[in-house]
Structure 1
Amino acid sequence: MSEDQAPLPEPAELKRIAASCPDQLRVIAAALAKGRRLPELYPLFVEPPRSADDPEVELRACVLGELVLAGVSSRGRPEFEAYAERLRELGHPLSWLPGERLDLEHRFGVRVRGAGPVKSAGQLRARFPEIPATAGGAAGGAAAGRTAQEVRDAERARDAAGAFTAGGWACEPEVRFFALPERLSDDDFGMAFLQGLPLDCLAGEMGRGGALACLTAADDVANELYSASCDGGVGGRPQHGAYARLHAWRGLYALLGVPADTPFLDTVRYAADCRWLRFMAFTRWFHHDTADVGFAVLDPSRTRVAVLAATDTDTDD
């Protein structure tokens, strides 16, 4: 091991870290996955895990998760495969995730120069196709929004918001679910429809920037969930790669309303049949400071809608 490679703490030190600062295990795992060659990591997985609560097991589970994000699959690597299978038997939360990186995750952890948080209407329009607020679509969408019935589901809402709450975003996200009495046309699923819903984030006086909605896709939403958790908000609770990936997938499943035992590729196909919006509004709810996100998804039946809005700020307003 060269001097710049990440060292592996002794078991006693891992237990101390787990007791005093458990998140530090994730930092160590990310450093190991990035700073060691694969052959150097294989010996870590020779002994099968005995308990999901063991700090050494937690560290190794995170290392496997970080490796998947780097494009390293467990398939064809017996040490990794056996360890991952035992983690599933123990019910470790990270073992629920796909064992290899899926195409929907292609943006996770990828930083593009000039493509930080969307803070202005101009930035949103530059990155995503805006939905024109035509007279017919606006009227029909607003009317349809007013007929929507809210469906309360606390557990699903908690999972949908999990990336932001775990990441320490300063404000509590808004997550709402609605059922429509009849099928909504894609043309009517726009800003006017959202403004017809009883959403806190769109309530009150609208500022000069107004409100706009743009078309997006599931990979954009998943990436925002991942980034919110991985990097953390102004509250400073970055979850790092392995657990950020977990929060992203849990959030996506919750927004789609699919059961946790649905195969991942089936969920990806289902998500592709949905209609996804990214929206922005200049209301008092959003801060337009550190980061704001607003998403809405219309399911394939075109009768169910989920909305997620989150805002992060380093001001006291």
Structure 2
Amino acid sequence: MNDNDVPPGDAASRRPHWEQSSPAELKQLAESHPAELYEAARQLCRSALDEGSEWFTAARTLGRIVDALADTRSRDCARYAVDILGLFPQLGPEPRKEGDRLCRSVAEKLVKAQQLRDLEALFGELPERLDDPAVEVRACVLGELALIGVGCGRPVLDAYAARLRELRHPLARLPRTRLDVEHRFGVRVRGLGSVKTSEQLRSRFPEVSATDGGAEGGRRAVESVDAGRAGAVAGPFVVSGWSRMPEARFYVLPDPLGPDDFNIAFIKELPLACLEGEGTRRGVAVSCRTTPDDVINELFAAAHHGGVNGQGKGQGGAYSRLYAWNSLYALMGLPGDVPFLEAARLAADHRWLRFMAVTDWFHHDTADVAFAVLDPSGTRVAVVAATDTDADSHPYF
């Protein structure tokens, strides 16, 4: 009898308490008896439905089984992992949400662990609708493949991607290849973590000195409230559970601001919550010149890694890319139908700043991110500031 001939229920009789299995045990079973592990997941789902078990326990165990299968290089393991995700809706609406979240992390694991030819075998049948976890995980897999620069030119994958565009899947509008401006996504340089202090900011980016013209320009700026745009800007931080709601604001100037006057003196004149109390503590506010690839990389990283209060809320590479681009478009005030390559070109025409100050907002202990962008006309400015820390343990709170 091979793995595919395991009778229904036999796996469950061998191992009735799957929630007690260690990751090492699940990994070993995935390597040696993937069909048994798959049948155990199906039995677990049936038991949860028949006995009215709490969905949380069943969903958590299904997730651990899926992770073990996705991490094991095998065409069968890849297929079983995707099929198990289709069981989550059977447990109810809350497990369905958990299954949708799991799709993102499982897709990332599949692309890292599996061979492309084995992943390609998952795309033989085109989807008819989007409300299916099996379709969602495949969409995420295509998104993950785009981030590593593979998948284009393979007819099966191209056909599936085209069908997702027809169905208007949100990931389908992203480029199927990685753009140059995205070259830093997922790349970590040893010794370079998040920027936590003004000294670190100065050491990594060229400082822009304050000017009287900048201060005058800031005093003349008028805020333009746009809740929808602010939500898109803040998206990467919100979805991944950063500890504080980001601040996203937009301003209009009556006259063009000179490029050299876009600096910390300008920013300090804006009514920003992140700068409240600036100047009352030891230390100075700093602004430094940066580039669009730095900005979009920070937006991607925010969504991808998850915040200190958002364990398990990392969005996976495909959706982190989507949230990062949505945020960048909103910072520049671009409509969604602008092509990505054109957006990247336009981003290069904007002026971008990183800034930091010694205030209650900037905790200087985990991750503080603050950007300002001036449009090519010199009359529109967008600002976003986000902080991620264990606020309960911080002396300011």
The bucket for the TM-score relative to the shorter chain is: over 0.9
**Contact 2:222–2:251 (CA under 8 A) maintained in structure 1:** yes
Q: Please say if 1:277 is aligned against 2:350.
A: no
Show structure 1 runs of 4+ deviating over 6 A.
none
Aligned partner of 2:342 among 249, 252, 266: 266
Larger radius of gyration: 2
Same amino acid, percent of matched pairs: 56
**Contact 2:365–2:389 (CA under 8 A) maintained in structure 1:** yes
**Contact 2:278–2:285 (CA under 8 A) maintained in structure 1:** no
Q: Which residue does the alignment assign to 1:15? A: 86
Aligned partner of 1:166 among 232, 239, 253: 239
More helix by share: 2
TM-score by length of 2: 0.76
CA RMSD of aligned residues (A): 1.5
Q: Please say if 1:61 is aligned against 2:139.
A: yes
Q: Which residue does the alignment assign to 2:58? A: none
Q: What amino acid maps onto 1:156 in structure 2?
A: R
Cα shift at 1:255: 0.3
The aligned runs of 1:149-228 (5 Å cut-off) are 149-206=222-279, 207-228=281-302
**Contact 1:30–1:63 (CA under 8 A) maintained in structure 2:** yes
Higher relative contact order (CA closer than 8 Å, sequence separation 6+): 1
Q: Tell me the SS of whatever aligns to 2:391.
A: coil
Partners of 1:10 and 1:273 lie apart in 2 by 45
Q: Tell me the SS of whatever aligns to 2:254.
A: coil
Q: Please say if 1:291 is aligned against 2:367.
A: yes
Partners of 1:181 and 1:78 lie apart in 2 by 53
Aligned partner of 2:109 among 12, 16, 31: 31
Structure 1: which 5+ runs fail to align? none
Partners of 2:179 and 2:387 lie apart in 1 by 28
Q: What amino acid maps onto 2:84 in structure 1?
A: E
Q: What are the Cα deviations for residues 47-80 of structure 1, in whole angstroms up to 9, with x where unaligned?
A: 1111111111000000011111112142x11111
Q: What are the Cα deviations for residues 96-130 of structure 1, in whole angstroms up to 9, with x where unaligned?
A: 11111000000001111111110011111111001
- Evaluate the alpha carbon distance shift between residue 182 and residue 35 of structure 1 in structure 2; reply closer, same or farther with a 3 A threshold: same
Partners of 1:306 and 1:205 lie apart in 2 by 20
- Evaluate the alpha carbon distance shift between residue 263 and residue 12 of structure 1 in structure 2; reply closer, same or farther with a 3 A threshold: closer
Structure 2: which 5+ runs fail to align? 1-29, 33-71
Q: Tell me the SS of whatever aligns to 1:23.
A: helix
Partners of 2:82 and 2:141 lie apart in 1 by 16
